[in-house]
Amino acid sequence: MNRNKECIEHGDTKELLTPGFGVPDMYYGERVRLRALELEDLDVVMENWNNLEMRRFLATAWPMSKNAERKWLERVTTMDPWKDGGMVLAIEDKKTHEFIGTVSFFDISKQNQRAEFGIAIHIQRTLERVMEQTP
């Protein structure tokens, strides 16, 4: 999909905006960036998706088929955050561009300027590091 972008500057950073949404395509942190989740992410999502250790803190801890995950990806990759009240972004390592996991925003309310979110770490070694640092 070829979308026209607008560029805005905040200090020494630039962000690309999707016209009509007014939100950056990608958000950057010190080590990771949040980007659009793509259908091409399905295989890496499935690598550890049925790992109970990863899923135990999520709403659904039962096994999911690749077909069910494909349908979920097809739905969430086309969500409009304002119309549908949610969005899912991929978490990616800035240096290696490795897919790490997903962050989901739901119950988004533009009027109340609030949303709820959840984070799923999909890569086992990253999950183990996070779990070691969690009390």
- Please tell me whether the overall predicted TM-score, pTM, comes out greater than 0.85 for this model: no
Around Cβ 88, how many Cβ atoms within 10 Å?
22
Strand residue runs (E) in 30-83: 32-36
Q: Where are the domains of the chain?
A: 26-133
CB 70 within 8 A of CB 36: no
- The DSSP result for 9-41, as a single string, is EETTEEEEE-TTT-SBS-EE-SSEEEEE--GGG
User: Residue 3 — pLDDT band, cuts 50, 70, 90?
Assistant: very low
For 21-66, the pLDDT digits (tens) are 444 557 888 888 999 999 999 998 888 777 777 777 777 778 889 9
CATH 3.40.50.11540 fits 26-133, yes or no: no
Using only the alpha carbons of the chain, give its radius of gyration: 16
For 86-130, the pLDDT digits (tens) are 999 999 988 888 898 899 999 998 888 889 988 888 776 665 665
